[in-house]
């Protein structure tokens, strides 16, 4: 029995030794990683492709696709200087029930330092948006429903689904496919404190994406959303390049739908 205790003690000492060595290898001056969490919400519920949500205007909405592009991510240092994440173009959300939901981005090789905020955009900057044949940046690729196909440019949001149409008294399909340079929106979030990013820290920036704000701006049962108009019977509701005023309203709303939930920062053990 004594020998068992002896060898157990030796094992624990070796474990502690190697753990200490691992800790010693963590260098606070070396680059680190921060997780960017974009949690898609509709009111208090998480967005998925199997639930029905009710907007503030009373529309009953079910998504078959909930996807959008986040790009040009920047982290703001304590001194106000900016670190830009290279080739930061990401398809977020969920493409179909056969695809997994994407709500997390790992931002790697961030220079060690203290950071106080984040900037990012919804959509694709004009230079990249004008060249959809050039897909090597980040996630960008064609033929997956996030580019127009028949015209240059990307869909900054691609939200498809159905809603209950009050006139027809049945469910009708809808699509919000919003793009063009005018609807490229940049979001700035201040953490309210600083977080340290380095090789010895684990960090997370958690944002809630409040999709209901878009349906506050544009109600699916509003007139003028038939695409293409005119139509005697509504079989499809959509906002794409037109109606332009509705596309603008949606873009202004998705610029406001990102809410900082918290930032998390702690030393690795």
14 pLDDT band, cuts 50/70/90, is: very low
Structure tokens at 89: 């173009």
The residue extents of the domains of the chain are 29-267
Q: What are phi and psi of 32, to 5 degrees?
A: -130, -175
Kindly report, residue by residue over 128-169, the tens digit of the pLDDT.
Answer: 998 877 667 899 988 899 998 887 899 999 999 999 988 888
Q: What is the pLDDT of residue 269?
A: 59
Kindly report, residue by residue over 15-63, the tens digit of the pLDDT.
Answer: 444 444 444 555 678 999 999 999 999 999 999 998 999 999 999 999 9
Task: Return all residues near 129 (Cβ < 8 A) that are at least 6 apart.
Answer: 123, 152, 153, 154, 179, 181, 184
């Amino acid at each position: 029995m004594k020998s068992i205790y002896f060898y157990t003690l030796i094992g624990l000492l070796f474990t502690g030794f190697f753990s200490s060595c691992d800790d010693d290898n963590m260098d606070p001056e070396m680059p680190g990683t921060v997780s960017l969490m974009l949690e898609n919400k509709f009111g208090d519920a998480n967005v998925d492709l199997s639930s029905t949500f009710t907007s503030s205007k009373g529309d009953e909405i079910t998504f078959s696709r909930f996807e959008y592009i986040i790009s040009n991510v920047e982290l703001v240092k304590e001194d106000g200087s900016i670190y830009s994440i290279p080739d930061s173009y990401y398809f977020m959300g969920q493409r179909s029930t056969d695809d997994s939901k994407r709500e997390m981005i790992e931002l790697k090789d961030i220079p060690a330092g203290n950071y106080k905020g984040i900037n990012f955009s919804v959509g694709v900057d004009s230079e990249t948006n004008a060249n959809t044949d050039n897909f090597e940046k980040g996630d960008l690729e064609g033929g997956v429903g996030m580019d127009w196909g028949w015209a240059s440019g990307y869909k900054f949001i691609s939200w498809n689904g159905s809603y209950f149409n009050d006139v027809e008294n049945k469910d009708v399909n809808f699509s919000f496919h919003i793009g063009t340079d005018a609807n490229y929106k940049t979001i700035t979030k201040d953490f309210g404190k600083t977080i340290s990013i380095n090789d010895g820290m684990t960090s997370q920036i958690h944002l809630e994406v409040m999709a209901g704000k878009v349906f506050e701006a544009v109600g699916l049962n509003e007139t003028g959303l038939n695409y293409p108009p005119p139509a005697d019977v509504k079989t499809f509701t959509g906002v794409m390049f037109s109606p332009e005023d509705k596309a603008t309203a949606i873009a202004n709303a998705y610029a406001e739908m990102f809410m900082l939930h918290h930032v998390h920062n702690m030393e690795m053990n």
